């Protein structure tokens, strides 16, 4: 565990997935709630090809396993280690985090409120995890499970809640070892933190209350602790993944309920390398970030109802790279025990059959178009912006809810402005983590976008300057590099003197980045409510064109648009098998829900 953790980032970035490349080459739909074998066979007729099997804490529901085998459904294993990865969210212990917060309110000096149970840095916990996973695989391997879910609604604390877990003795010991990998000496750490620790064993992190109170602009001890916390969470998950792969090289490890980029371990630069599959609640461009960090990551989502807006979302996430979804049927309205399809099955059926059809399979088999634009997804910048906001509040940060930390922040707004703006222009983009940027901007990138990049390491600054020197263009909002990578305020911003554009459109023009496809209305005016996603499959280009929701609702009626290409191509709209002929202009009628997917040869 110690070697894994102290070498966490390198190990995660280099670790290959064990599952075969073709192991997930179609869109899969899985049912969460239990149904009879007859009902499951009926649901297979609308495309539901898999179902959940409880293996909570390693205990497999044998009766349900037998029923699923009888029905011929693919099995996925649920909640194998939720007690380790989601202990403050489990239904059986929903009061645990409430109790922790109440204990803090009674006595903020009580260190136990920041000791995670179980600690992800405790070797004994990891040994339990490894043994449990080996046992589950031994019992289920012959069923070829679709995936093994390590935990549901995982998080360092309660999902995406901000909390100072973990300062338990195993965690502090591991944090100190981690620091020794990231600093050349104790003197170097003291110089960075502004501290005077006499030994490594004496080093203590700065917790959030102290960081908020600090007035010297140096919260390096807090920034490093938060970075280690995310590393520890990802490494513990990777320990589970490695245990599954050791027991069965074809096993697919997973977590469900992945949150918005932010707290709770949701630094996707680390998390995307920790498991093979994530069920993600799509917020804050987390699917795009995760798949840019790890293109092999399998992404699925969850469907909660049969509304047109829900069907629009499922198709939207296919265009982002989703390869399936889990159904939540809380009202039991899919199928009767006798196998009679109920209201939601009838409403969802056409969409499910289409999702299981050839068009999503073509997208899954393709690669995203190579990007000329990169967006920095900087978690250190998110952290320091969050901390600065807390400094001006009168209410304790411990009283904030998860919903509070899902709200828009300047960092999220800036990232969304860049990502959404590019998608509406039909310009592919990729994402860089701070560590990726520090290694140098890829040669294919012409424009680097720095959304609220308040914190930049020296290595990132050097890479940006080198990028500009070779002709690259930087677009930044706000003052980039006010803090270093450890979150110590700089004397002056790091990118002073580096030419930067403040708006996207002139930055694209300066970088010479033009869309392969433009979308206009019948009068020739640019269309603002349509996104374009591009993939390549050999010499063939696929373009997914989808209307936006009108606010939170599906727009009424269809929309006529014209796609204009830079050169003549043979076009086919795959959803309707419609031959568009050869040319540079293709007229399409866009459905409010279902995207058009155009093949260009």
Q: What is the pLDDT of residues 338-363, one digit of tens each?
A: 999 999 999 999 999 999 999 999 99
Per-residue pLDDT at 18: 52
What is residue 478's predicted lDDT score, i.e. its pLDDT? 78
CA dihedral 272, 276, 281, 286 (to 10 degrees): 20
Sign of the dihedral defined by the CA atoms of residues 343, 344, 350, 356, in that order: negative
The CA distance from 337 to 484, in Å, is 60
Has residue 576 got a pLDDT over 80?
yes
**Confidence (pLDDT) at 94:** 64
Residues 6+ positions from 536 with CB-CB distance below 8 Å? 366, 367, 368, 369, 370, 542
Residues 6+ apart with CB under 8 A from 62: none
For 499-541, the pLDDT digits (tens) are: 899 999 999 999 999 999 999 998 999 999 999 999 999 999 9
Burial of 491 (0-12, 13-18, 19+ CB in 10 A): exposed
How far CA 453 is from CA of 377, 481, 485, in Å, comes to: 8, 6, 10
Check residue 203 and give its pLDDT. 98
pLDDT, mean over the chain: 94
Contact 334, 502 (CB under 8 A): no
What average pLDDT does the segment 532-551 reach? 96
The C-alpha atoms of residue 241 and residue 53 are separated, in whole angstroms, by: 19
SS3 (DSSP) at 98: helix
Is 16's pLDDT higher than 70? no
Asked if the bond preceding 118 is cis, omega within 30° of 0, the reply is: yes
Cα(211)–Cα(196) distance, integer angstroms? 17
Residues 448-459 pLDDT 10s: 999 999 999 999
Share of the chain above pLDDT 90, in %: 93
Q: Of 403, 422, 368, which is closest to residue 283 (Cα–Cα)?
A: 403
pLDDT at 13: 44
Helix-strand-coil percent breakdown of the chain, rounded to 5?
40, 20, 40
Name the nearest CA neighbour of 219 among 391, 407, 462, 104. 391
Q: What is the pLDDT of residue 507?
A: 98
Q: Average the pLDDT over 272-278 and give the result.
A: 98
CATH number of this structure's domain 373-511: 3.40.50.880
> How many Å apart are CA 422 and CA 464, to the nearest integer?
21
Is pLDDT above 80 for 237? yes
pLDDT score of 7 more than 80: no
H or E stretch including 76? strand 74-78
Query: CATH homologous superfamily of domain 26-167+235-366?
Result: Glycosidases (3.20.20.80)
CA distance 563 to 553: 25
**pTM assigned to the model:** 0.95
Asked whether residue 1 carries a pLDDT value surpassing 60, the answer given is no
Residue 14: predicted pLDDT: 41
Question: Do the domains at 26-167+235-366 and 373-511 have one common CATH topology?
Answer: no
4 pLDDT band (50/70/90 cuts)?
very low
pLDDT one-digit tens code per residue, 282-333? 999 999 999 999 999 999 999 999 999 999 999 999 999 999 999 999 999 9
Q: Say if CB 484 and CB 410 are below 8 A apart.
A: no
Q: Residue 60, SS3?
A: coil
| Helix axis angle, 410-425 to 504-511, nearest 10° | 50
Under a CB-based contact definition with an 8 Å cutoff, are residues 536 and 369 in contact? Answer: yes
Angle at CA of residue 160, ends 111 and 61, nearest 5°: 100
The answer on pLDDT for 479 being more than 70 is yes
User: The domain 517-600: what is its CATH number?
Assistant: 2.60.40
- Per-residue confidence (pLDDT) for residue 91, from 0 to 100: 62
**Which of these, 592, 555, 559, 591, lies nearest to 576 by C-alpha position?**
591
Neighbours of 222 (CB within 10 A): 25
The ranges assigned to domains in the chain are 26-167+235-366, 373-511, 517-600
Residue 136: per-residue pLDDT = 98
> What's the pLDDT tens digit per position in 84-136?
999 999 765 568 999 999 999 999 999 999 999 999 999 999 999 999 999 99
Answer whether residue 279 shows pLDDT above 50. yes
Condensed to tens digits (0 to 9), the pLDDT of residues 417-441 reads 999 999 999 999 999 999 999 999 9
Can you give the pLDDT at residue 92? 57
Asked if pLDDT for residue 15 goes beyond 90, the answer is no
């Amino acid at each position: 565990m110690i070697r894994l953790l102290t070498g966490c980032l390198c190990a995660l970035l280099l670790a290959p997935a064990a599952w075969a490349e073709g192991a997930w080459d179609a869109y899969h739909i899985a049912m969460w709630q239990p149904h009879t074998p007859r009902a499951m066979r009926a649901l297979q007729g609308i495309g539901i090809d898999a179902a959940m099997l409880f293996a909570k804490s390693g205990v497999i529901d044998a009766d349900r396993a037998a029923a699923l085998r009888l029905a011929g459904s693919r099995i996925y294993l649920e909640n194998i280690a939720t007690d380790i990865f989601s202990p403050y969210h489990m239904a059986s212990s929903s009061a645990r985090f409430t109790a922790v917060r109440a204990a803090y309110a009674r006595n903020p000096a009580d260190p136990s409120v920041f000791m995670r149970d179980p600690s992800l840095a405790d070797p004994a916990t990891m040994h339990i995890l490894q043994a449990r996973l080996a046992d589950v695989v031994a019992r289920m391997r012959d069923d070829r499970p679709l995936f093994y879910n390590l935990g549901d609604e995982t998080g360092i604390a309660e999902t995406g809640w901000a909390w100072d877990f973990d300062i338990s003795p195993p965690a502090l010991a591991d944090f100190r070892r981690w620091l020794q990998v990231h600093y050349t000496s104790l003197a170097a750490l003291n110089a960075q933190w502004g501290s005077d620790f006499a030994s490594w064993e004496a080093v203590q992190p700065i917790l959030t209350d102290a960081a908020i109170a600090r007035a010297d602009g140096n919260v390096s001890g807090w920034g490093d602790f938060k970075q280690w916390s995310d590393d520890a969470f990802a490494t513990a998950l990777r320990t589970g993944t490695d245990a599954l792969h050791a027991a069965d090289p074809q096993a697919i490890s997973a977590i469900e309920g992945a949150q918005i980029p932010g707290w709770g371990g949701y630094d996707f630069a680390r998390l995307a390398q920790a498991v093979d599959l994530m069920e993600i609640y799509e917020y804050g461009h987390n699917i795009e970030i995760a798949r840019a960090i790890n293109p092999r990551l399998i992404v699925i989502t969850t469907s909660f109802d049969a509304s047109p807006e829900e069907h629009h979302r499922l198709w939207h996430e296919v265009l982002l790279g989703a390869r399936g979804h889990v159904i939540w049927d809380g009202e039991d309205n899919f199928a009767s025990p006798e196998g009679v399809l109920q209201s939601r099955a009838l409403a969802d059926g056409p969409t499910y059959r289409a999702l299981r059809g050839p068009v999503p399979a073509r997208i899954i088999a393709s690669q995203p178009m190579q990007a000329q634009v990169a967006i920095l997804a900087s978690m250190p910048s998110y952290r320091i912006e969050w901390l600065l906001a807390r400094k001006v509040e009168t209410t304790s940060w411990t009283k904030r809810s998860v919903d509070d930390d899902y709200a828009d922040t300047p960092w999220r707004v800036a990232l969304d402005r860049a990502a959404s703006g590019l998608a509406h222009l039909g310009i592919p983009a990729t994402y860089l983590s701070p560590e990726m940027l520090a290694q140098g901007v890829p040669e294919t990138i012409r424009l680097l976008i720095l959304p609220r990049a308040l914190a930049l390491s020296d290595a990132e600054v050097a890479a940006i300057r080198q990028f500009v020197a070779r002709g690259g263009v930087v677009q930044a909002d706000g003052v980039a590099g006010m803090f270093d990578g450890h979150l110590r305020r700089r004397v002056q911003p790091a990118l002073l003197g580096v030419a930067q554009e403040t708006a996207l459109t002139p930055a694209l023009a300066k970088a010479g980045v033009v869309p392969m496809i433009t979308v206009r209305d019948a009068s020739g005016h640019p269309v603002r409510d349509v996104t374009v996603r591009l993939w390549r499959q050999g010499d063939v280009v696929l373009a997914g064109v989808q209307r936006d929701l009108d606010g939170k609702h599906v727009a009424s009626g269809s929309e006529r648009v014209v796609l204009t290409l830079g050169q003549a191509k043979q076009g086919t709209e795959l959803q309707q098998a419609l031959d568009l002929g050869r040319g540079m202009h293709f007229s399409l009628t866009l459905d409010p829900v279902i995207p058009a997917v155009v093949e260009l040869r």
